[in-house]
Amino acid sequence: MSKKQNKLITKEILNNAIKKGAFLKFDPRLMVKNPVMFMVEVGSILTLILSIFPTLFNGNSDERIYNILITFILFIILLFANFAESIAEGRGKAQAATLRQSKKDSKARRIKSDGSEEMLNSSELKIGDIVLVKAGELIPNDGEIIEGAASVDESAITGESAPVMREAGGDFSSVTGGTTVLTDFLKIKILVGAGESFLDKMINLVEGAARQKTPNEIALNTLLIALSLSFLVVVVSLYPFIQFLGVSLPISWLVALLVCLIPTTIGGGLLSAIGIAGMDRVTRFNVIALSGKAVESCGDVDTMILDKTGTITFGNRLANEFYEVQGISKEEMIKACVLSSLKERVQKDLQKFLDENPQITKEQIPLDLLSASGSGLDPHISLQAALVQIPRISQSSKITKEELEKIIQENTESKFLGIFGEEKVNVLAVNIAIAKAMKKE
């Protein structure tokens, strides 16, 4: 959702609110859900009848103009409340429509088993299909990159204007349907079927956002109803008293008095509009609120950080503590975590580093950093492999190089019997020590 879509009121929303929403909401079946405004609508109908038949209830024909004026004012009050709610609802519908436009059916280049290509609609893709996406083309559906590296524009989904790098392997291999490849090409394996993509789920969430009243709104609405009923009793009881005294008082005056006695009329009419507008406001910040209650809960949050791997975290995982579940030993869990983090990403990053620094040869890089073995790994690296990473870790963690050297030395296991093997550094212990040092900073 890019920032250009965050416009408060568009021409289309305004037209729909004027032509449809504001007038359709005059339906008493809809208006009765808001008792305060329903009371005003009943009063406007009563004054309309008196405008047509001014002599009803012992009225005077000279009061016709006054009755028409009261009817018009009440109609404007109701129209304003309905219009505000229609605008708020229109924003939510527009958000879903914008997402649906991003999901427009595009052509996909599927690679057959024999290596040839065929063009078909993205909606025809199935799980497991391999597609080729070139620069300037939309990614047809959610998937994983199996070959290639490219810059991808994800602003339609994340709202971030800067393009991001996506490549096969590691933490940056997943792509989202509806985003655009800007450079090079990507071979993508489709992981979801039609209608099950991330964008489809977002659309369903926005369209299914429930208009649930918040606790504060329920309490305020109850107060408004109680006040309105008490004023209604006062006005209704006033008529027989005046008749008893022999004073002539037009019914339209009593209706106007009732509306004036409930100064909460506008507030009652705007309660639902305020709630819907709150849900839409957080949606403009790429947060989907499923109910008005969720919006109210956001009021207790001082700071919210919206991050995806690669902007703040950079995919660097530092474990502070491990909590194993029943049936799994802590040692097994630690080993599984290490294996899942080592993957082939290390080799790709090292190759990129070597390409950018031709003066450094592979012989200068410790052998265990070039290993891409997927099994039998233990959480240890050589002392040389640990020391060569000190500048990088110091820059990212803001810990001095001297302190990092001390941490590595404290977590280095000596040779077996002081003679056999090589000195090894416990990577997990070093990571935990670095995390604790960063907290102290």
Which of 152, 174, 196 delimits the end of a domain?
Answer: 196
For residue 322, being part of any structural domain is answered with no
- The answer on 238 and 93 residing in a single domain is yes
For residue 306, being part of any structural domain is answered with no
On whether the CB atoms of residues 202 and 288 are closer than 8 A, the answer is yes
- Mean pLDDT for the stretch of residues 362-375: 46
Whole-number pLDDT of residue 3: 41
- The answer on 180 and 226 residing in a single domain is no
- The answer on 212 and 97 residing in a single domain is yes
Which of 156, 174, 196 delimits the end of a domain?
Answer: 196
pLDDT in tens, 109-148: 888 888 888 888 877 888 888 889 888 888 888 888 888 8
CATH number at residue 169: 2.70.150.10
- The answer on 412 and 360 residing in a single domain is yes
Residue 62 appears among annotated catalytic residues: no
Range in 77-81, 154-158, 242-246, 374-378 with the lowest mean pLDDT? 374-378
- Mean pLDDT for the stretch of residues 335-349: 59
Residue 369 has pLDDT above 80, yes or no: no
**Rounded-to-integer distance, Cα 414 and Cα 426, Å:** 11
What is the pLDDT confidence band of residue 309, given thresholds at 50, 70 and 90? very low
pLDDT in tens, 15-30: 776 766 677 777 888 7
- DSSP states of 293-361 as a string? HHHHHHTT-S------TTTSSTT----S---PPTT--HHHHHHHHHHHHHTTHHHHHHHHHHHH-TTS-
Which of the pair, 386 or 158, is modelled with greater confidence?
Answer: 386
What is the pLDDT confidence band of residue 155, given thresholds at 50, 70 and 90? confident
- The answer on 421 and 341 residing in a single domain is yes
Structural domain span for residue 141: 107-196
Count helices and strands in the chain by DSSP H and E runs: 18, 12
For residue 180, being part of any structural domain is answered with yes
For residue 321, being part of any structural domain is answered with no
Annotated active-site residue in 307, 355, 368, 378 = 307
User: Model's pTM, two decimal places?
Assistant: 0.42
- The answer on 227 and 86 residing in a single domain is yes
Residue 71 CB burial class (10 angstroms; 0-12, 13-18, ≥19): buried
Whole-number pLDDT of residue 115: 80
CA dihedral 351, 356, 359, 362 (to 10 degrees): 0
**Paired tokens of 99:** 């997402």
- Mean pLDDT for the stretch of residues 363-388: 56
Whole-number pLDDT of residue 302: 65
- The answer on 219 and 74 residing in a single domain is yes
Cα–Cα distances in angstroms (integers) from residue 397 to residues 125, 311, 315, 338, 391, in the given order: 44, 15, 14, 20, 10
For residue 179, being part of any structural domain is answered with yes
For residue 308, being part of any structural domain is answered with no
- Mean pLDDT for the stretch of residues 378-404: 76
- The answer on 93 and 190 residing in a single domain is no
Whole-number pLDDT of residue 329: 84
**Rounded-to-integer distance, Cα 288 and Cα 206, Å:** 7
Range in 88-102, 219-233, 256-270, 355-369 with the lowest mean pLDDT? 355-369
- The answer on 263 and 141 residing in a single domain is no
Q: Provide the domain count of the chain.
A: 3
For residue 15, being part of any structural domain is answered with yes
- The answer on 334 and 422 residing in a single domain is yes
Report how far apart the first and last C-alpha atoms of the chain are (Å, whole number): 37
- The answer on 282 and 251 residing in a single domain is yes
- Mean pLDDT for the stretch of residues 228-254: 81
- The most confident of the ranges 90-94, 149-153, 280-284, 331-335 is 149-153
- The answer on 116 and 93 residing in a single domain is no
> What is the rounded average pLDDT for all residues in the chain?
72
What is the pLDDT confidence band of residue 431, given thresholds at 50, 70 and 90? confident
Whole-number pLDDT of residue 37: 78
Which of the pair, 17 or 251, is modelled with greater confidence?
Answer: 251
For residue 323, being part of any structural domain is answered with no
Is residue 383 within a helix (H) or strand (E), and if so which, with residue range?
helix 383-387
What is the pLDDT confidence band of residue 367, given thresholds at 50, 70 and 90? very low
Residue 30 CB burial class (10 angstroms; 0-12, 13-18, ≥19): middle
